Structure 1
Amino acid sequence: MVSGIFIIKPMVPIGNIPMMEHVVNLLKRNGFLLNSSGGEVKGTREELLQQSSTMADIVKIKFIEGEFEIPSCYYEFAHRFRDQDGKLYSGFIAKSADKIFESTNFYKKDN
């Protein structure tokens, strides 16, 4: 497993930002490539969780067999909402989680 040299997926809570779309727009304006699988924003307020993530950077790593480009780490952003009892949602949404993991899919890096 090559990812042992990276922090694979730090998660950034955004509870004080009113809308996930603001985070997405800020990231895009600053040149970050976002994971659009399942939409740039996954989940809804009604599901009590919205998530977005950057795509993993492509880095060159030296192996015994040679130097190869591989996906490194990505950042996940999560907005957890409170339920009707006022408790912060602590679960995850399976259909969103599998899309978030696509952030490490290999893609052609534009130079």
Structure 2
Amino acid sequence: MRIPNGTKVRHRHKGYDGHIDGLTEIVVGPNRHPDGKTRYRLNIGGSSRELITEDDLSILVDGDNLVIMIRQKEPYRRSLTAQLHGVLTEDRFIKAGRSSAVPATTPPQVPSA
């Protein structure tokens, strides 16, 4: 599953925060997504962007353990949170404002349709 644009993330090793700003196709080189050809474009402020693989990202969540996104309302964020919990391990979700060593706990419950 692709992490949508606008999702707030933290680099797992370097510790800085940003948001997903798209995908970039990489013609040569190591460290690409499972599709073998792309990396996420991470907006780290102003005009600064960095190319990064999914394995290097933690997803930032709010006090209700919902994925934090730019300009998205709670119902969509709740749905996306459930989808991402289905493909990423629990340690990949961290509360905004905490160090990357402190994972979020208890994913939110999504009402069944």
Does TM-score exceed 0.5, indicating one fold?
no
Structure with larger RCO (C-alpha < 8 A, sep 6+)? 1
Give the TM-score normalised by the residue count of structure 2: 0.26
Q: Which has the higher strand share?
A: 2
Which structure shows the bigger proportion of residues in helix conformation? 1
Q: Considering only CA atoms, is the larger Rg found in Structure 1 or Structure 2?
A: 1
TM-score, normalised via structure 1 length: 0.26
